[in-house]
Amino acid sequence: MRSPAELTQAFRQTGLKVTPQRQLLFRLLHGNTSHPSADVLFALASEAMPGISLRTVYQTLNDLATMGELQSIDFGTGSARFDPNVTDHQHAVCNECGAVHDVHVSRAPKMSGLEGFDIHDAHIVYRGICADCAS
Q: Which is nearer to Zn ion, 119 or 131 (CB)?
A: 131
In angstroms, give the least distance from the CB of 55 to Zn ion.
25
Q: Which is nearer to Zn ion, 4 or 84 (CB)?
A: 84
Q: Rounded distance, CA 25 to CA 38, Å?
A: 11
Contact 21, 13 (CB under 8 A): no
Judged by the rule CB under 5 A, the positions of this chain that interact with Zn ion are 83, 85, 94, 96-97, 99, 102, 130, 133
In angstroms, give the least distance from the CB of 81 to Zn ion.
8
In angstroms, give the least distance from the CB of 118 to Zn ion.
25
- Class of residue 57 by CB neighbours under 10 A (exposed 0-12, middle 13-18, buried 19+): buried
Q: Rounded distance, CA 91 to CA 30, Å?
A: 18
Q: Which is nearer to Zn ion, 47 or 88 (CB)?
A: 88
